Structures are given as C-alpha cells and as structure tokens.
Amino acid sequence: MPGSSRLARLLQLSCAFQLLAALAWLTWRWPASPWQAVLGALLVPMVPPIVIGVELLLVRHVARSDRAAPVPSIRQLLRAWRGETVQWFRVFWWRQPLRWREVDDHVDTPGAKTPVVFVHGFMCNRGFWSPWMRRLRQLGHPYVAVNLEPVFTSIDDYAPIIDAAVHRITTATGRRPVLVCHSMGGLAARAWWRTVRDPARVAHLVTIGSPHGGTWLARFSTRANGLQMRLQNEWLAGLEASHAEIALPPVTCWYTNCDNVVFPPSTAMLPSADNRFVPGQPHVGLAFHPEVIERTIALLSSLSR
C-alpha cells in the first residue's frame, strides 16, 4: 500500500479551509443576524452540490444530441443529484482525505481466487474503493488499490504505477488480475496496456464511467490529464490507434445517462466492449451501484473456475 497520498493532504486542506470559512462567517454575522450567519455558514459546504446540480443540467442539454442512452428525466436528475451529493461528502470529505489507508491491500491469500487491481479516477485516491475492498476481502479475492500521483500530470505517467501493482499481485497469486477502473482510471489502464502489449498480463478490464471518448466537461480543464480527456483530442486518437496493433483484453464498460462528469453517455463506451447501461446514476454513484458491484463479482467468480 502507498505510504502517502498528496491527494489526501490536498483534500484535508480543502475541507479545513471550508470549515474555517464557514466558522468565520458564522462568528462575523451572528451579532447582526443569527439567521444570516447560519445560512451563510451552511452555504459554504453546499458549493459542491450546487456545482453537481449545474453539471446535471448540462448533462440533460448535451445528451439531446447523443443516441447512446435516453435523455434523463427530471426525476432521474433529481435522484442523481441527491445521490451524488451524499457520495461527495462520503468520498471527498471522509474516505479519501481521512480513511484512505483504512482498508489495506490483500494479496497473501491461500488458494487465491481471481485477483483485482483497483484504479481510481481524477482527483481521487485508493480510499475511493474502500467498500469494494471490504467486500472482496470477505469473498477471498486478493486485491491491490493504487494511488495515481502526482495528481496533475499526463495520464501516461501513471503506467509504471499500474504495472507495479499488476506485477505485485500476479507474483503473489500466480493469476492474471482483473483491472477495475473508475473514470480516468480506465484511460490510465489503457495507456498502461499500450506500453506492455502483453495479453497474458490481464484477464479482463472493467471500466466504470470512463471517458474513453473524452468528456464535454473537460473543456474547462487546463491540467495535462484534463486536456487528455477533452472530446476528440489527439491523445485519445493515438490511444485508440494503439489498440488496433494489439487488441485490449476483454472489456466491460459501465455507463449511464446521468453521469455528471463523463458525458455525453457514448463517451463512456468502447466499440469492442461489452457496454452495459445503468439508468439514472451519477458519476461517483455509478461505481457503487449494486448491479455494477454484483455483476463484477460474478465476473470474478466465473474467471476463478
């Protein structure tokens, strides 16, 4: 397991700043207007949920020109907003900044079943996968979860991290792992595959809300990895061309029509993959949807036979 996480420290600072800002406003405005003080203090941590709401409105607008999935209904968008708001505080205020080391890697398993390498997405760390890791430990599946760092760099730079994780778990178990990836993690796995070009390294690739075709939202990013996730960019075209030389392992792509980060929906699909649609799920929420988890576990079981 990684010894440190820059992303965890970054999120700790972000959470602390928001709490201090809320406390400062509360202290300043309380003598003049307690109601104004409380409402202003509550507004500070509500900025991310407001942003999620705006993203979902953009999803509905952009999805009208995409035929990969039905245009989300207002009811679906409201449920997605509520669910993603809950996930935001669970993941970005708790698991990743404070509990990212809570669930250790699990590699020394006698009679090992199919192992897993977990690859998180943009602005995340291994703490993202804590519920998955607990479940796999109960079922006896070995796993390793990586930290893709530096946080802001080219996606190609993550290849050695993934390679080391695959080598570690393969050496420990003698089995080819399944790569389970969320968001940018799916691109990182494909970029790693471009460097190794060895079908014997991986049994299956599972991507959850990964921007294989880029994402409309990435137009607002100026970071190297954000630029690589823009729609129809040269880096993605080169990645796709590399798979024509040596095909990817079997791939399952999970996608949805309420993904507030990766949209339009068709961008989360690959032409040669088993593309599976789950309606009404937001970006983070899709990774923890029961159907996604259970069917992935069923895949692991089938490969263990």
Q: Could you read off the pLDDT of 55-96 as tens digits, one per residue?
A: 999 999 999 889 899 999 999 999 999 999 999 999 999 999
Quote the number of domains for the chain.
1
- Per-residue pLDDT of 98-107, as tens digits, reads 999 999 999 9
pLDDT for 200 equals 84
Confidence at residue 110, expressed as pLDDT on a 0 to 100 scale: 67
How far is the C-alpha of 76 from the C-alpha of 258, rounded, in Å? 7
pLDDT tens digits for 130-151?
999 999 999 999 999 999 999 9
Phi, psi of 294 (to 5 degrees): -70, -40
Q: Which helix (H) or strand (E) holds 150?
A: none
Over the chain (305 residues), the average pLDDT of each successive run of 10 is 91 96 94 93 93 97 92 97 98 97 89 91 98 96 97 98 96 95 98 89 97 97 97 96 90 98 97 96 98 98 87
Tokens of 154: 């080219």
The dihedrals phi and psi of 133, each to the nearest 5 degrees, come to -65, -40
CATH number, residue 250:
3.40.50.1820
pLDDT at residue 281 in the model:
98
The helix/strand/coil state of 106 is strand
Verdict on whether the full-model pTM lies above 0.85: yes
Q: What is the pLDDT of residue 257?
A: 97
pLDDT at 112: 73
Please answer whether residues 246 and 197 qualify as being in contact, where contact means their C-beta atoms are separated by less than 8 angstroms. yes
Average pLDDT in the chain:
95
Residue 1: its pLDDT value, please? 77
* pLDDT number for residue 7: 97
| Range(s) of the domain holding residue 302 | 1-305
